[in-house]
Amino acid sequence: MALVIGDMQSVGTAGWWYTSDATGSAPATPTLSVVNDGDGDAVTATVSGDAGVTNQLLYKKSVDTAWITGATRFGDGAIAQAGLDNDTGYDFIVVAEDSNYYSYPSAQVTVNVNDGISALLVDLPQAIVNSLNAASFSKTFTATRAAVPLFARKEMSTLRVTVVPRKLDIAMLSRADDNHDVQVDVAVQSSLDEITNTAIDPFLDLAEELTAHLTRLNMSAGSSDYLWVKSENEPIYSPEHIRELHQFTSVITITYREIK
């Protein structure tokens, strides 16, 4: 916890100490916004407040209590803060200073610092899960996100719809930018009481419904937007799973492109 030197009295808030000044000489409380840079180690903070003051950025990992003194700028504008850890949540505040008079700290802003790829492989599948669970289909299920759609045989008595990241392609778009194309699998799995058209057809219908629902459906996930590129249903069903496990398995693969 740090102590800000000031004129009147110090009061603790959010792990930071600020000084209230009865003479009115202290700067107004600044406002702060912070965005992840997508490099895995930096953010850009934007501060707005009084003119002619020095704005001091302070930050800490969300799990920590001690604040770290970050970068500064004179007046309004952007503050670049590097040296952060990838896949880590950080809290940020900014304090304005003018001739040793200090403002109240801004409202605290929390941002997850990541390289964009790790978040893409978590946030996008979760957005698909949320979309499926918010819609109505011919069969009732609760979609889930998983690293692998792996269940015990006895668990297959319940219809399973599992969303799994499949593939990430990164291609050069320009000298400074890349295209991020990600494929996500939606697996439909359930045990079968019998191997007949009557037993299998309802699951084929469901796989078709899910494919239709996701086709041409763009997604917003985390701080990014994703453009639908294509839908594939392969296998439409697995003959081996039906024959050997008495289980229906269908995999729908959706390709999205991150919009930058």
Domains, the chain, in order of start with CATH, read 9-113 (2.60.40.10), 117-259 (3.30.2000.10)
> Per-residue pLDDT tens for 55-80?
999 999 988 989 999 999 999 999 99
Beta bridge partners of 38: none
Q: Tell how strand 178-191 and strand 144-145 pair up.
A: unpaired
Dist CA 53 CA 27 (whole Å): 7
pLDDT at 231: 98
> Per-residue pLDDT tens for 163-187?
999 988 888 777 667 788 999 999 9
C-alpha atoms less than 13 angstroms from C-alpha of 47 in its C-beta half-sphere: 33
Q: How far is C-alpha 136 from the chain's CA centre?
A: 25
pLDDT at 117: 67
> Per-residue pLDDT tens for 96-150?
999 888 899 999 998 888 776 666 677 889 899 999 999 999 999 999 988 777 7
Q: Tell how strand 101-102 and strand 109-113 pair up.
A: unpaired
State mean pLDDT over 227-235: 96
Instruction: Using DSSP, state whether 60 is helix, strand or coil.
Output: strand
Answer yes or no: pTM beyond 0.85: no
C-alpha atoms less than 13 angstroms from C-alpha of 101 in its C-beta half-sphere: 16
